[in-house]
Amino acid sequence: MTLSPIEIEKRPVQAYRQLVDGRLGEAASAERFGRQSPAHDMQVGCYPLADVADADMAVSAARVAFDEGPWPRMSAAERSGMLATVADLIAANAEELALIDVLESGKPITQARAELEGAVDLWRYAATRARAIEGTVPAGLGQHMLGLIERVPIGVVAMITPWNFPFVILSQKLPFALAAGCTVVLKPSELTPGSTLRLGELLTEAEMPPGTVNLIVGHGQTVGQRLAEHDDVDMISFTGSTQVGRSVARAAAGNLKKVSLELGGKNPQIVCADADLDAAADAVVFGVFFNAGQCCNSSSRLIVEASVEEQFHKRLVELAERVPFGDPLDPATKIGAIINDAQMDKIETYVAQAISQGASPLCGTRRIDGGPGRFFEPTVMANVTSDMDIARDEVFGPVLSTMRFDGLSEAIAIANDTHYGLSAGIWTGNYDRAVCAARDLRAGTIWVNCWMDGFAEMPFGGMRQSGLGREQGAQAVEEFTELKSVLFHRGERSDRWVPNGHNRNP
């Protein structure tokens, strides 16, 4: 699919509705807002702007749906069937949902299509997990005792999702909470809410019980804050920056609700001299320039063995300069637009600061001027040291920082020299090196001779300031449950606290 600017301009601006208590409609204030495509500078959507009143209504609907409604009381087979139906509806509308994400976020159309395929797989996998929630019966409690340990849904879950992967991150959370029997209030980023609100229409088409899923769009400091602090919310699941994650955790402390956080990363790829250097170079370029670097999993740090540093840098520059970037609706494009002007300014500031601190640019470093949209050249910075801001902070742009090492222990020390711990990788032909790195790297996901390969069956999440909890995999459903112990006594009680017999008081 390739649309010209004229075709985009002629495309009707999509008007979306929020979903509260099974009804599609306007925000309580009737206020709306628009979104311009970051790649084309044309308005592509119009959305209801929720505020605290909408958040309260959505939570109330989810509360009633959990306490009195059918969803938590359905059989696992019924919930599984509903999730499978939603998965089929997403698959049938995947091209439309992908286009919405492209126009609102600036990501390449081929990437958006792949993300929708992954999202459908997550919903289908979650449908199978709905029927796999199990408790246990501990043995050995005694002749007269029976103990059951149940997993029960935690209750009302508030979810806040980011702008960089609107539909796939939603799909890492929502179907797993539903599989567990929870009800949900979900707030997408106001920068990319369209595909989430379109999902609301698909949920009504699937006849999801009213109040089970509620979708509203508002600002973080109003709607997000209210959801995080609301006493009728039992759990909050947030994906975004570490800074905002801290504020979510503080707000959630009011009623000690459970908190799941998927936050930032400053992820390293270690490249050893004995690695397949061509494959490693391709993976490094993919890892840092995928989604224009606007990805918590971006491998924005390269740690390369000194003996092959120069030749590896040449490979990187040659590949970086060949990566097609530009109009995200062109199927050939691999690097799309930067989300907004503030993010573009942030990228430029980090690059300029790194150069002033002694880093050496090998390619890139500039925004692309002369046309609509916000685009930044694929950039590789050499001679970076661990104390530079560009090596420590999330740039969230197509910028690679490269460092060198002499021994594996030094490489692991450099990789772990961060307050993040989301993902890390190593490229080597030596089994012992691979096992050592997998053991000692402090991150929630370790890739060996690959990068960003993912499966619905594999849990995803971070250590340290990259977050709390796990998404995907069997563990994802467990995140949305509580353990309940139930004890049964059989037969007559012989160990009475107050003995039988006459009252001995005088």
The DSSP code for 72 is G
User: HSE on the CB side for 142, CA within 13 Å?
Assistant: 8
Q: Give tens-digit pLDDT for 407-435.
A: 999 999 999 999 999 999 999 999 999 99
On whether both 309 and 257 belong to a single domain, the answer is no
| Contact of 169 with 198, CB cutoff 8 Å | no
Chain Cα centroid distance, residue 240: 8
- Whether pLDDT at 501 is above 70: no
Q: What angle do CA 24, 25, 27 make, to 5 degrees?
A: 130
449: left (phi over 0), alpha (psi -120 to 50) or beta: left
Tokens at residue 10, please? 């002629």
Q: Which residues are catalytic?
A: 262, 296
Q: What angle do CA 166, 170, 176 make, to 5 degrees?
A: 165
For the segment 264-278, the average pLDDT, to the nearest whole number, is 97
**Phi and psi torsions of 66, nearest 5°:** -75, -45
Count the Cβ atoms, other than its own, within 10 Å of residue 118.
Answer: 17
On whether both 306 and 439 belong to a single domain, the answer is yes
pLDDT at 121: 98
On whether both 177 and 109 belong to a single domain, the answer is yes
Task: Kindly report the CATH number assigned to the domain that includes residue 349.
Answer: 3.40.309.10
| Contact of 214 with 58, CB cutoff 8 Å | yes
Beta carbons within 8 Å of 335's beta carbon, 6+ residues apart: 108, 289, 292, 323, 324, 325, 326, 375, 378, 398
- Whether pLDDT at 5 is above 80: no
**Phi and psi torsions of 438, nearest 5°:** -60, -35
Domain count, the chain: 2
- Whether pLDDT at 99 is above 90: yes
Confidence band for 369, pLDDT divided at 50, 70 and 90: confident
Let me know if residue 458 belongs to a domain.
Answer: no
Q: Give tens-digit pLDDT for 275-292.
A: 999 999 999 999 999 999
- Whether pLDDT at 505 is above 70: no
pLDDT > 70: what percent of the chain? 97
pLDDT at 492: 84
pLDDT at 6: 58
For the segment 383-390, the average pLDDT, to the nearest whole number, is 95
Confidence band for 370, pLDDT divided at 50, 70 and 90: confident
pLDDT at 12: 83
- Whether pLDDT at 78 is above 70: yes
Chain Cα centroid distance, residue 479: 15
For the segment 237-249, the average pLDDT, to the nearest whole number, is 94
Q: Give tens-digit pLDDT for 299-356.
A: 999 999 999 999 999 999 999 999 998 999 999 999 999 999 999 999 999 999 999 9
Mean pLDDT over all residues of the chain? 94
Let me know if residue 149 belongs to a domain.
Answer: yes
**438/442 Cα distance (integer angstroms):** 9
Residue range(s) defining the domain that contains residue 231: 12-263+463-486
Query: Distances in Å between the alpha carbon of 82 and those of 62, 123, 161, 185?
Result: 18, 10, 23, 18
Let me know if residue 403 belongs to a domain.
Answer: yes
Tokens at residue 206, please? 């699937």
**Helix, strand or coil for residue 419?**
coil
- Whether pLDDT at 215 is above 90: yes
**66/276 Cα distance (integer angstroms):** 53
On whether both 34 and 99 belong to a single domain, the answer is yes
Tokens at residue 354, please? 């790194």
| Contact of 360 with 381, CB cutoff 8 Å | yes
- Whether pLDDT at 101 is above 80: yes
Let me know if residue 456 belongs to a domain.
Answer: no
On whether both 213 and 274 belong to a single domain, the answer is no
Q: Give tens-digit pLDDT for 440-475.
A: 999 999 999 999 998 999 999 999 999 999 999 999
Let me know if residue 491 belongs to a domain.
Answer: no
| Contact of 484 with 150, CB cutoff 8 Å | yes
Confidence band for 2, pLDDT divided at 50, 70 and 90: low
pLDDT at 7: 67
**Phi and psi torsions of 199, nearest 5°:** -60, -35
pLDDT at 503: 60
Name the β-bridge partners of 317: none
On whether both 424 and 470 belong to a single domain, the answer is no
